[in-house]
Structure 1
Amino acid sequence: MYCVQAIASGIYWVGGTDKRLERFENMFPLPNGVAYNSYLIMDDKTALMDTVDAAISAQFLENIEFVLEGRPLDYLVVNHMEPDHCANIEELLRRYPEMKLVGNKKTFQFMEQFYTFSEPDRYIIVKEGDELPLGSRTLRFFMTPFVHWPEVMFSYEVSESILFSADAFGCFGSLSGNIFSDQTDFEGVYLEESRRYYSNIVGKYGPQVQTALKKLGKVDIKMICPLHGPVWRDNLDYIVGKYRQWSSYQPEKQGVVLVYASMYGNTENAMNLIAGKLASRGVKDIRMYDVSKTHPSYIIADAWKFSHLVFGSPTYNLGLYHGMQALLHEMASLNLQNRKVSLVGNYTWANAAIDEMTDILQSMKKIEFVGEPFVIHSAIKPEQMTDLDQLVEDIYASLTAETAEAAGSAV
């Protein structure tokens, strides 16, 4: 049965949600599923903005058929060629033989890599600033490469100032009837998942996001329609501001994220001591994660949010514990930067963890090490507490200085 909603006069949400999917890209946990958005514009000409994942094809195709009411589908605009948004292109070509495909040169290169067809007579290749008239409405195209694939573009409906933003401004989490952000408790339900989505999916491409935001700053936007998550028709400055901050790699809050690997509890004990001592000093917003228990996407999301990171790991097989190594390599590949970092290492006969953590972190931009690394020889001894207290004091002093600087900047 069809399930559609009008987002504006003559423009319909025809997407769907998948609450059963456990992992996005077979990698990122989805405790609340995911939404796949698509939008259908009804004018003198009809235009479908992207498709959806194969998992909800039946619902999607029924939605389109219901809205069209027998009319042809004139255009399919492909803003992003990732398979969770383009899985239905071949089926739509079969169902609507007059339909034209709209995309940029790179779009069609990827399309012919994913699929077996090649129909250049049905391709409309657009460039920066090109427009497609639909009747009373006009689509204008903005090239936004590497937000987060190289072929990505945004489509802007001129008459109603609606931005179809591909994967930008999206988030994990399914929709439950309310498709607009202002109909939801966005901060309670979607903000954490928006940050986790941004940091893990788009985060590597901060400079490209900044370029796109600068380009969009010249355009009047009254609604943002992403391919995942709620539609924005109110308080757009809020989500644009989040993207501006996330893409600049500036932490949102002063706080400490403690991340550790621990085989028998001794490294964990040191991290608990650090957390407790920081809390006793009045530090708030302390988060703690075991890399063997928590999916790295959640840790990375909090690393994007907070200013200070503490990593603790034992040496393992004369190297770095593999869970910690994988996490740090992923943070480096995502271009995380501009953070204050402290280290805790543990070893019994070979000291490698601190050196390897240091090497990875030094490969990242604008990483400032706080305090001397705290080294454990199998288990903490009472005589080491002075050194541990000094590390805590160094972290606290750095936090305090950052807080004072932020307060001064706000005055």
Structure 2
Amino acid sequence: MMTNAQSGTNIHEVADGIYRINTPIALPDGAGKFNFNQYLIVDDAPMLFHTGPRRLFAPVREAIDAVLPVERLRYIGFSHFEADECGALNSLLSVAPQAVPVCSRVAAMIAIDDFAERAARVLADAEELTLGGRTIRWFDTPHTPHSWECGLMMDVTTETLFCGDLFTQGGRGEIALTESDILGPSESFRLMMDYFAHSPGTGAILERLARERPTTLACMHGSAWRGDGAKLLGELSTSLHRQP
């Protein structure tokens, strides 16, 4: 469903009660198209994962309102401190008075305790947060794909892994949910402008995520994906190991 024709912002359900908000953008200097995704998790205590950049606050808010009143948000989560992850955090906190940021301990320590207008709900590695009918599990993923404070989360109820910048795909992200190959396009994009830290711990982190056996991958850029998530995470690890 298109929610803002001017920005191209649209929203689609990609798993039970989980909605992908997508906005295509033009890259600088005519370098092509890119896209930002946020994920709205509908429950007794709704959560938004990723806020989008501050300048996209208005169309993202419109998309949220198409599913539920934005003031119902209780949690606003993100992987790490970066504009597309949490640039609109304070704007969202201003219209959702009961919402709090959700992030890793390191993110709170180095950025969010100072940046955010409201204290964060800090999640430790493997800690779970109940939203009502579903449970969110947090994973510390330092330097995977980048940033010391990085973390990812999984809705264990629907087996949906909110995988942040893993499997980033360029383009407009027109397809909300796919079962086609995303590893090839995401690796092609990564090799053009490598954004991975290539930490010694990356392989072990991807293996740990694979053991959760996700069936939906909620990518921050590009299509969400449905299939054997453990297999795909293993293939990503193998590809990273082969590349310089």
1:106-160, CA deviations, whole angstroms, 9 ceiling, x for partnerless residues?
Answer: 21222356x3x5533xx21111110100111000001000011111111010111
- Specify the alignment match of 1:119 in structure 2: 118
The verdict on how the C-alpha distance between 1:39 and 1:192 changes in structure 2, with shifts beyond 3 A counting, is closer
- Specify the alignment match of 1:213 in structure 2: 206
State which of 147, 153, 164 in structure 2 corresponds to 1:155: 153
Contact in 2 for aligned 1:40/1:46 (Cα 8 Å): yes
- Specify the alignment match of 1:93 in structure 2: 93
- Specify the alignment match of 1:164 in structure 2: 162
- Specify the alignment match of 2:28 in structure 1: 22
Contact in 1 for aligned 2:55/2:88 (Cα 8 Å): no
Contact in 2 for aligned 1:152/1:166 (Cα 8 Å): no
Instruction: Give the fraction of aligned pairs with identical amino acids, expressed as a percent.
Output: 23
- C-alpha distance in 2 between matches for 1:48 and 1:203: 24
The verdict on how the C-alpha distance between 1:207 and 1:174 changes in structure 2, with shifts beyond 3 A counting, is farther
- C-alpha distance in 2 between matches for 1:192 and 1:220: 22
RMSD value, Cα: 2.4
- Residue 155 of structure 1 aligns to a residue whose secondary structure is strand
- Specify the alignment match of 1:110 in structure 2: 111
**Structure 1 stretches of 5 or more lacking a match?**
24-28, 251-303, 305-335, 337-411
- C-alpha distance in 2 between matches for 1:193 and 1:43: 31
The verdict on how the C-alpha distance between 1:198 and 1:206 changes in structure 2, with shifts beyond 3 A counting, is farther
State which of 171, 174, 177 in structure 2 corresponds to 1:173: 171
- Specify the alignment match of 2:138 in structure 1: 141
Contact in 1 for aligned 2:48/2:73 (Cα 8 Å): yes
Counting matched residue pairs gives: 235
1:20-54, CA deviations, whole angstroms, 9 ceiling, x for partnerless residues?
Answer: 2237xxxxx842x1121111111111111111123
Task: Give the structure, 1 or 2, with the largest relative contact order (CA under 8 Å, sep 6 or more).
Answer: 2
- Specify the alignment match of 1:226 in structure 2: 219
**Structure 2 stretches of 5 or more lacking a match?**
4-9
- Specify the alignment match of 2:37 in structure 1: 37
Find runs of 4+ consecutive structure 1 residues off by over 6 angstroms. Answer: none
Contact in 2 for aligned 1:80/1:166 (Cα 8 Å): no
- C-alpha distance in 2 between matches for 1:70 and 1:84: 19
Contact in 2 for aligned 1:35/1:229 (Cα 8 Å): yes
The verdict on how the C-alpha distance between 1:213 and 1:198 changes in structure 2, with shifts beyond 3 A counting, is farther
Please report the TM-score for the alignment, with normalisation by the length of structure 2. Answer: 0.86
Contact in 2 for aligned 1:142/1:153 (Cα 8 Å): yes
The verdict on how the C-alpha distance between 1:54 and 1:101 changes in structure 2, with shifts beyond 3 A counting, is closer
- C-alpha distance in 2 between matches for 1:193 and 1:47: 26
Contact in 2 for aligned 1:78/1:107 (Cα 8 Å): no
Contact in 2 for aligned 1:15/1:52 (Cα 8 Å): no
Question: What's the CA shift for 1:75?
Answer: 0.6
- Residue 197 of structure 2 aligns to a residue whose secondary structure is helix
- Residue 204 of structure 1 aligns to a residue whose secondary structure is coil
User: Higher helix share goes to which structure?
Assistant: 1
The verdict on how the C-alpha distance between 1:70 and 1:202 changes in structure 2, with shifts beyond 3 A counting, is closer
